[in-house]
Structure 1
Amino acid sequence: MGQTHATNAETLGHEVVAGADLIEPAREEFAETYGATSYEGFEAMYDAEDLDAVAVSTPNAFHEEAVVAALERGYDVFCEKPLASDLESAERIADAAVESEGFCMVNFHNRVSTATEVFKDHQAEGFFGEITHVDANYVRRRGIPGVGSWFTNRELSGGGAVVDIGVHAIDYALYLMDYPDVEEVFAVTRTEFGHRDDYVDPGDWYDETDEAVFDVEDSATAMIRCEDDRTISLEVTWAANQEETNDFVVRGTEAGAALELGGEELTLYQAGTQGTDHLFDSTLTGGSLDRTGWEGSDERFLEAVQTGEPPALNTAEHALTVQRVIDAIYRSGEKGTSVSVE
């Protein structure tokens, strides 16, 4: 992801001046690719370079030290999701963002899509009425990241499927609802496939070694209750014996919608009495945003850096809310009961 952000920055007309990585071959490749100075540690880079902004793409456990150090220097920071590997660390990052002259934006790139923009404009006009429920799905049929990588090591990642891909689904569902306060979570987490010798993986995601660490969940089901009894049903899997889906279904008091996480298709559901009682659906066709996904997210971050105006999109405050939900999912899964979101 570090190289993705660097490439996008150059494509968008900005200069990549430096990068930091503990691994020497990675540093050398980065320096050669972008004509940048490379450093073994981020502190040395921060001290030596005159930077406007930084992108932090380390494993989750190391977000805090790199992000906080940048914010303390007044840099604008683009942090990969999730905000941190645990709630306490995320809270410290959010506190640092409040105190900093710079801002912290988190890479929830699925928000940047044509379907989402159209949906949010309709929502702002009151088209949906009150949104009362979102059905959120991020289901891979086979997609466990390489076993033994940091993705499957709780100490480095903070969790499994919920932290890796569930974070996107949680953020997106809350974003579609205009980020209501979250009050309670009931969840079940499962590890059904990660330790199986007969695990079938045609996509070659599952790269097991003799000393591979897999101490995280590969799926989770959750019911999230927000203020005014608005709800989100969440299904997240790295692996499941079902068809893959990224479908989100939104129910409102006046209209509803169906769209895919990060996708471009949008269907609106309405009912009417004109002529006779009837149901009708409309589908988005035509125009599209110039840049979506990772590139669109990078573009919005860099525009905010240039203007000096912190972005309203993907704030550290929203990322902290997502982290609180993740924390509640794990606590509920361990207790076997619903838990309050703290």
Structure 2
Amino acid sequence: MQKLRIGVVGTGNIFRSIHLPAWLANPEVEIVAVCDAYRAGAQKIADEHGIPDVYEDYRELIARDDIDVVNVCTPNLYHSEVSVAALESGKHVFCEKPDAINPSEAVKMAEAAKASGKVLMVMRNNRYRPVSQFLRSYVENGHMGDVYTGRCGWLRRRGIPGKGGWFTTKELSGGGPLIDLGVHMIDLAIWIMGSPRPVSVSGSVYTKFANDDKSDSVHSAFGTKQDNGTFDVEDLATGFIRFENGATLQIEFSWASNVESEGRFVELRGTKAGFNLFNDDLKLFTEIDGTLCNVIPQLPKDSGGHKNNIDHFVDVVRGRAEPIFVPEQGVDMIKILSAIYESAQTGREVRLD
């Protein structure tokens, strides 16, 4: 079988540490070109891994007829622009999250994918972890009954990425931890719930640590720090989502907050059972033969969600699998995040329907 030929746009830390190892581990693909406005970084990766071609302008890479897939790992602002151009040129696209910085750009991506007939997938790595797959099946099979409420979040004590750079510049990133971390755990919670349709949100955002340079998180290494750079995004976001079926979801995300330590979580409650997933530890709360029980499933503590996500994308492109993620779900996610920012600005609940 001929390998899929991958062209990469954006060779920063998220590509080097996450996407690159996953592509290299898949025997059905080969990276044939990389592109970055910072050419030296792209050239270094090309030299290290025997990648033949390096570009500074993504349009030159996309114009090639021999590239099957474009992997987009740029700052958030350019996700839609590059993805749409690649789809219109007949390439499949695998894009780093978030889908886009606003709903209109996410819609452009979904429409371009539909018109081209090509696969567009955005990173949703948490869906592809064994514990997540178990929980999705657990809910689908009715073991939790009516899942009616829950909460999710990702809190860091001090973990601001690339402070002063594009991460903390709203024009380039679209926001702070809500769009950076929220897309992960909100998506996971809603997906496990069975993807109910969101109808309204309310939220608040805060910026309290823009002048604090301390760090206790490895995630601070993402992005490039710039002294005296821009910091016009939130460092904490809280909110509340209502769904068409009556269910609700509380959310909380921080890059910096005075909490005990960093942790990510999803907690859902149903009429038959509930669960708490904290980092990689899962506990189920249910009833067995009339007795209230706490159950700890024996599941692999596998952080290979990124690789599993990329492997699934390859399977979908090859026609071996139906996509677990579709672009319309990305549009819904960006609508939620955008509406939370709007609610924070206006002080009012925002309707999505």
Instruction: Using structure 2 for the length normalisation, give the TM-score.
Output: 0.89
State the one-letter code of the partner of 2:242.
R
After TM superposition, the structure 1 = structure 2 runs for residues 1-342 of structure 1, keeping only pairs within 5 Å, are 1-3=14-16, 4-13=18-27, 14-36=29-51, 37-194=53-210, 196=211, 199-203=213-217, 205=220, 209-243=226-260, 244-260=262-278, 263=280, 265-272=281-288, 274=289, 277-285=290-298, 292-307=304-319, 311-341=322-352
Coordinate RMSD, CA, aligned: 2.0
Distance, in Å, in 2 between the alignment partners of 1:250 and 1:183 is 19
Q: Cα–Cα, structure 1 residues 286 and 326, in superposed 2: closer, same or farther, change >3 Å?
A: closer
Give the secondary-structure state (helix, strand or coil) at the position aligned to 2:263.
coil
SS state of the match for residue 257, structure 1?
Answer: strand
Change (3 A) 1:17 1:83: same
Distance 1:220-1:85 versus aligned 2 partners, 3 A rule: same
User: Would you say the 8 A contact 1:153–1:215 is kept in 2?
Assistant: yes
Structure 2: distance between partners of 1:214 and 1:5: 27
| Structure-2 change in CA distance of 1:215 and 1:340 (3 Å) | same
* Total equivalences in the alignment: 333
> Percent same amino acid among aligned pairs?
33
**Distance apart, 1:56 and its partner CA:** 0.4
SS at match of 1:48: coil
Any idea what SS the aligned residue of 2:267 has? strand
Q: 1:31 to 1:170 in 2, by over 3 A?
A: same
Moved more, 185-194 or 238-247: 238-247
Greater than 6 Å deviation, 4+ residue runs? none
1:202 CA displacement: 4.4
Contact 1:52 1:305 in 2 (8 A): no
Q: Secondary structure at the match of 1:132?
A: strand
Seen in structure 2, the aligned counterparts of structure 1 residues 70 and 210 have a Cα distance that, compared at 3 Å, is: closer
Kindly provide the amino acid, as one letter, of the partner of residue 179 in structure 2. Answer: V
* Structure-2 separation of matches of 1:28 and 1:136: 40
Q: How far apart are the structure 1 equivalents of 2:256 and 2:226?
A: 19
SS at match of 1:17: strand
Structure 2 stretches lacking a partner, 5+ long:
1-13
Following superposition, the deviation at residue 103 of structure 1 comes to 1.3
What are the superposed Cα offsets for residues 319-341 of structure 1, whole Å, 9 maximum, x if unpaired?
Answer: 11110000110000000111112
- Out of 64-73 and 202-211, give the one that drifted further: 202-211
> What is the deviation of 1:203?
4.7
